[in-house]
Amino acid sequence: QLHLVESGGGLVQPGGSLRLSCASAEVTLDHYTIGWFRQAPGKEREGVSCVDNTDSSTYYADSVKGRFTISRDNTNHTVYLHINSLKPEDTAVYYCAADLLLRLCVFLKDEYDDWGQGTQVTVSS
């Protein structure tokens, strides 16, 4: 089982930015399709961004397009989620997920085998 660790969450004012990290201590993540999901209180976990393991194509949910950017740093075994122009509705626990066999990005949480513990993002003035 892949051990993923998210970090970089916090309390930020509307309009602010954060960089979330998803790291593995054991292996490089470039062979994995990596998805970022979030779960707000009382809501279902939803996919927000993904980078696939075919050619590192990236995908975004409509609600975050233009504000979120996913990127790989294979040297440091890390996938980042850069979040700009944060809104109160972005408040959630953000999770990264990985799957070795998933060749294309999907926002179906059951398709991912490995998950991190999550990092809290709170957007409030």
Model confidence pLDDT, tens digit, residues 72-83: 998 888 999 999
Given the DSSP bridges, would you call strands 4-7 and 58-60 parallel, antiparallel or unpaired? unpaired
pLDDT value for 33: 96
Query: What is the average per-residue pLDDT within 28-39?
Result: 94
8 A C-beta contact, residue 114 and residue 6: no
Q: From CA 87, how far away is CA 16, in angstroms rounded?
A: 8
